[in-house]
Chain A
């Protein structure tokens, strides 16, 4: 891993199109400004990791459990109303 020291307001350039600016340092928090083309996705790593974890958990279920199917059936009315007025809104 390449490790660089930078001061506030100094920049790092990655390739032709990505610039990272050290905006502020306060305690153990560093604020970065990132300029990158729109097609480059910039994400906090933990967000991507959270989605990975969530997907792995979600994908371990091999079928729609019967109970879940059942509850959707018994809630069929509520589901089919999503494009119109919801019944409970009329009461209020």
Chain B
């Protein structure tokens, strides 16, 4: 049974959308986040650590976000990032590391937090290594 996650502040660009269905596909580290107000609004999410092992080992969540998440000191907050797929060339898929989605599974609440860290970009190539990308291109065709 998929979870409905409540985003009290909406998501930037979709501020009036507050409830999203989260469908996690465990094996691929992927998930879909579907707006309950408009099911054509669908985000494709990925667990960033699967691709970027050094991403956000420690994260300072601001107080406003903690409040929005109804987080307690014991809360285990999940981090997801939004993919922007490239329909003509999958190797150009980018991931938004600048603004991860934080989800508190216990309270079924979520927030998109914009990091002040300038190192993280909203358009980071998911497949950064050229040979790796080549490998994938062949795999995707075959």
Contact = CB atoms under 8 A, between A and B. Distances in A.
Interface stretch (A13-21, A25-33, A34-42): A34-42
B79 to A, nearest CB: 13
Contacts of A78: 132
Interface of chain A: mostly helix, strand, loop or mixed: helix
B31 to A, nearest CB: 10
Given A58-B96, A61-B42, A71 B136 contact: yes
A48 B53 contact: no
Interface in B11-57: 11-14, 27-30, 32, 35, 40-44, 49-51, 53
Size class of the contact patch on chain A: 35 or more
Interface in A27-82: 38-41, 43, 47-48, 50-59, 61-65, 67-76, 78-79, 82
B64 interface: yes
A77 to B, nearest CB: 11
A32 B33 CA distance: 38
Contacts of B11: 55
Interface of A: 38-41, 43, 47-48, 50-59, 61-65, 67-76, 78-79, 82, 86
